Structure 1
Amino acid sequence: MPKSTLTDQQQVTAHIQKLDPAIRDVVETLRQIILNTDGEIAEHIKWNNPSFYYTGEIAPFDPKEYKRDIIVMNLHKNRVMLVFPSGAKVDDTTGFLEGDYKDGRRLAIFKDMEDVQAKTAALQDVITKWLALIEK
């Protein structure tokens, strides 16, 4: 009998349901914030974690530039890191994005639900600025 294939969204949901309860709610809340920021953001599992990418029209590009990838979650016991593969391109003067990596990635770190609530506007602002940079 053929194995049923889960959609990307179902895979992300299943992945989150298996997480430690200490971070499950934080991850699900971040997921909803990211997806609700723009209708052309989709999700899937990449590098064994929930990841988010742009689904809209985009000019041809070198796939090594990670132009479609917006965020990859990096899950730890006491924190959730959102990795923005091309975060250095975003003009973030608030200090929300952390790190100075040569490959251009930046991080946003969330410790708990209170931290998520305090940083929601900054997260949506960075995503919106990133989407504005895409060559459509």
Structure 2
Amino acid sequence: MSKSKDIHDPKSVTEFIQKLEPEFSKLIEEIRVAVLETDKSVSEQIKWNSPSFFYNGEIKSFNPNEYKRDILVIHTRKNEALLVFPTGNVMDNKSGILEGDYADGRKMINFKTIEDFERKRNDFKEIIKDWLTKVEK
């Protein structure tokens, strides 16, 4: 079993969000809150120059290039939040909010407004919960 080497660093995530335009920062903060309130086994950090969320518990050993601990990364670009799930292909996408069919297994969700996020918030949280059930502990 491998313990997370990722470092829970909410301060750096807060600082990142505070540098964004005020309206856009509200969207990113709403996404952040939704991810973190889903389960206490989710932590946050800045990784790949973006707010990132990962599973912080014990997990079976794995090749680091498989990103089995990483849940999602929020790429902020031109006032839209592109959420990348590195292992999104393992998630149950009943709601259809996950997009993409990439060979490396990633899936994405794009949010442009708080209203768009709020409409999909419950489906989004279900995706996170489903991902957590697939962690190989």
Aligned to 1:49: 50
Aligned to 1:81: 82
- State which structure, 1 or 2, has the greater radius of gyration over its C-alpha atoms: 1
User: Structure 2 CA distance, aligned partners of 1:66 and 1:8?
Assistant: 18
User: Structure 2 CA distance, aligned partners of 1:14 and 1:96?
Assistant: 29
Aligned to 2:113: 112
Q: Is the 8 A contact 1:90 1:130 kept in 2?
A: yes
The answer to whether structure 1 residue 129 and structure 2 residue 133 are counterparts is: no
Aligned to 1:22: 23
Aligned length: 130
Deviation at 1:93, TM superposition (A): 2.7
- Identical residues among aligned pairs (%): 47
TM-score (norm 1): 0.92
User: Structure 2 CA distance, aligned partners of 1:91 and 1:39?
Assistant: 21
TM-score (norm 2): 0.91
Aligned to 2:33: 32
Deviation at 1:64, TM superposition (A): 1.1
Aligned to 1:3: none
Deviation at 1:26, TM superposition (A): 0.2
Q: Is the 8 A contact 1:40 1:55 kept in 2?
A: yes
Structure 1: 5+ residue stretches without partners: 1-6
User: Structure 1 CA distance, aligned partners of 2:79 and 2:70?
Assistant: 25
